[in-house]
Amino acid sequence: MRRLLKIIKDQQGATAVEYGLILALIFLAMVGALTTVASTTTNMWNHVATEVTSV
């Protein structure tokens, strides 16, 4: 019983979970930003390729 109470009151696990959630949110934001940048860059290069071949 004491061991269970010790585990429940332990703050280290909660801190690790909080940091994990923060890292997950940062990762999701980065993936979203990179997806947008990749799409924009692809469209730019497709436009450049079209202009070069039309010359």
What's the pLDDT tens digit per position in 3-49? 877 777 777 777 888 999 999 999 999 999 999 999 999 999 999 99
Q: Has residue 9 been placed in a domain?
A: no
**The pLDDT value given to residue 16:** 82
Range of the domain at 44: 26-55
Q: Has residue 11 been placed in a domain?
A: no
Q: Has residue 39 been placed in a domain?
A: yes
Number of domains in the chain: 1
**The pLDDT value given to residue 41:** 96
Q: Has residue 2 been placed in a domain?
A: no
pLDDT level of residue 2 (50, 70, 90 thresholds): confident
Structure tokens belonging to residue 13 = 């696990």
Distance CA 1, CA 19 (A): 29
